[in-house]
Amino acid sequence: MKRKTIILVLIALVITLLVKGKSENVIIPNEAIRIRIIASSNADMDIKEKMQVKKEVQEELYKLLKYAKSIEEARDIINLNLDKLNVTIDDTTKTSHKLEFGKNYFPKKIYKGVIYDEGEYESLVITLGQGTGDNWWCVLFPPLCLLEGNENTKDVEYKFFVKELIDKYF
């Protein structure tokens, strides 16, 4: 019995070190379209404006893309609705903006221990005003961030069962 306990503790320790001990790269598939909204500056008013544009554009994109089955279909829908998205942004803010769809640069980002590599990614980028402020970005297709815009969606939380057991008992 004592030997089993020691083995279980050692296994739990190794798993804990593996789970807590490293950052990981989350690979966003090549078949993905990102969205990025860059604030004019980091002034409170500009950050607030960026978040309002995010909210309105996200709601519009959810309506447009909710039935898209492939990346090709998502691309077509976005391209056909760039004017509509520009109107949504114009209606939300008086600040000048630039809307680009294609390959755009994303800087490296570390968020909650996950590393998102820098690079050129297919994306919809909205730059407000001077575009020198903090940015918000997410994966547009597959619709990882658009789920936030759908009030009928429950919050989703991913858990690692073994880690939960370790945390509970150790």
Q: Please list the rounded mean pLDDT of every run of 10 residues in the chain (170 residues).
A: 61 55 58 93 97 95 92 96 97 96 90 82 96 91 63 39 48
Tokens at 50, concatenated: 């960026």
The pLDDT value recorded for residue 156 is 35
Backbone torsions φ then ψ of 117, nearest 5 degrees: -70, 150
The pLDDT value recorded for residue 23 is 45
Q: How far apart are CA 162 and CA 7, in angstroms?
A: 16
The pLDDT value recorded for residue 138 is 86
Collapsing DSSP to helix, strand or coil, 94 comes out as coil
Helices 44-65 and 71-80 meet at what angle, rounded to 10? 120
The pLDDT value recorded for residue 120 is 93
Q: Which residues contact 50 (CB under 8 A, 6 or more apart)?
A: 37, 38, 39, 40, 128, 133, 134, 135, 136
Rounded to two decimals, the pTM is: 0.71
